[in-house]
Amino acid sequence: MGFAENVRLAPQRTMRSLLISLSHRRSLARLAVRSPLTRPVVARFVAGESLDEALPAIGVLAGAGFRTTVDVLGESVTSPEHASAAVDRYLATIAALSERRLDPNVSVKLTQMGLEIDRDLCRANVMRIVEAVRGVSGFVRIDMEDNTRTEATLDTWRAAYAAYPGVGVVIQSALRRSSADVDAIIAAGGRVRLCKGAYDEPASVAYRTKAAVDANYARLMERLLMADASPAIATHDPRLIARAIEIVEGEGIGRDRFEFQMLYGVRRDLQRALVARGYTVRIYVPFGQEWYPYFMRRLAERPANVGFMLRAVLKEEGRRLRGR
């Protein structure tokens, strides 16, 4: 990377680091959740604050030909009681999805299951969700968080996968270790959701430039597709999507052997275009009152979203003032 590109990308990196840092500020979270100005913006990325609000949105996606995976928002719980309550919300979600003949497919963060309290507690909570999903022939994806939790996440995935094959895990192309992790998961017969990564990681463990993260994503994606490992290609990057299509069409890989995954409210035009071409697209649908950390990471992934947010807030404030 040349000097000019480093200068051009520096403000983006600064903004990304700032937004990720702000995602951990509980005082800002309380302020954001209470403010009516944030709601119209957050609604673009979060399907509601309750299961009753989220289910209609999931139904609309299903009617439009999309598959879904549901994230009951929450992370970094501080007590066993909060972790148990999070499990209960997942169990209610799985039951509701099954009753409505929607995808009984959920995504789970281990810090919401009590990873930072006790690993055995976390594993037991995950297994409660796995058993519920097994009962409806569904699927659980264990989300990956920052690099300090990677090994614990993979250990938990291995234990859950041994109990029920319908358990997958996320791998981030930003991390340097991911090549070895992908090889190990392929060898075990596991299923990977490949994403770029939404955490601000140090250079000692992660690639720090977009070009390097993208190049590693392309390498890992090709390896997963060629291994017939039923990967989930989780990206909104048109170049990487085009490369995936080039690989599967060139190698005769069936469209039932992989899927694209995208976030609720992000690049809806691209989502519709892929479904129209006959590809499977699964939408990651988050809901819940604890949306603030998730929302801030979405802004950090694409700083241009900050402009969108500010315009929406200003528009809402203008309407409020005109209505006085």
Q: What angle do CA 88, 91, 93 make, to 5 degrees?
A: 110
DSSP 8-state secondary structure symbol assigned to residue 142: E
Tell me whether residue 103 is one of the annotated catalytic residues. no
Element (H, E) at 178: helix 178-188
Q: 310 near 318, Cβ under 8 Å? A: no
Q: 316 near 43, Cβ under 8 Å? A: no
Nearest to 20 by CA among 125, 174, 153: 174
DSSP 8-state secondary structure symbol assigned to residue 175: B
| Ramachandran area for residue 265 (φ above 0: left; ψ -120 to 50: alpha; else beta) | left
Q: 154 near 116, Cβ under 8 Å? A: no
Task: Please tell me which residue in 123, 191, 193, 298 is annotated as part of the active site.
Answer: 193
Q: For residues 69 and 164, give the distance between their C-alpha atoms in angstroms, rounded to a whole number.
A: 18
Q: 237 near 270, Cβ under 8 Å? A: no
SS3 at position 167: strand
Tell me whether residue 44 is one of the annotated catalytic residues. no
Q: 173 near 217, Cβ under 8 Å? A: yes
Task: Please tell me which residue in 71, 143, 181, 214 is annotated as part of the active site.
Answer: 143
What token pair was written down for 281?
């697209």
Q: What angle do CA 173, 107, 221 make, to 5 degrees?
A: 25
Count the alpha carbons within 13 Å of 70 in the hemisphere toward its beta carbon. 34
- For the annotated catalytic residues, the residue numbers are 143, 193
